[in-house]
A = this chain, B = another copy of it.
Amino acid sequence: MSSGRQEFIIRPIGIIHSPHRTPAGTPIQPAYAEEADGEVIVDEDLEPALADLAAFERIWLVYWLDRAGPFKPLVIPYRDTREHGLFATRSPCRPNPIGISVVRLLGRERNVLRVRSVDILDGTPLLDIKPYVPEFDAHPSSKAGWLDDSRADRRVADGRFHETEKP
């Protein structure tokens, strides 16, 4: 078993639509995007796999950060004025640009999910959907390093981590 030598192929299973057309102004996390409604269009042939999802209040969206800039080992995140290791931040400039966001699930109609609190750029490729399960995912008092000390209160992005907008 070797580390890091293989490659894996990812094929998107749908697309995420949101009001956020450009990185600048997009909320940096779902917690700051409470008013932002979006739609998740799942490929039609996967509709059967969405059964029972609507009973969950929140879901994880796993997606490809397709407009993120190249990997940088150190970044100044939105929530601080100092540099931090990339893996200690949620910046999109990751070696594998995979994003995860918890969003509220408002409803499902066939292969389309209506969601709220979307901090994701319009047109982002969807890779996976998972139910949000507090028993597994919620650790409300977990210590959060530099973020616990941060005094910066920025809630929207300014484009520093993204390539020039897509045409």
Residues of chain A at the chain B interface (Cβ within 8 Å) = 1-15, 29-31, 41-43, 46, 48-60, 62, 64, 73-74, 84-90, 94-96, 98, 100, 102, 123, 125-147, 166
- In whole angstroms, what is the CA distance A87 to B129 when docked? 6
Tell me whether A140 and B140 are in contact (CB under 8 A): yes
- In whole angstroms, what is the CA distance A4 to B16 when docked? 11
Q: What is the count of identical protomers in the complex? A: 2
Contacting A135 at CB < 8 Å: which of B127, B132, B147? B147
18 contacts between A and B (CB under 8 A): A1-B15, A3-B12, A4-B12, A9-B10, A11-B95, A50-B85, A51-B88, A52-B84, A57-B139, A57-B143, A62-B98, A88-B131, A90-B136, A98-B98, A98-B128, A133-B144, A134-B140, A138-B138
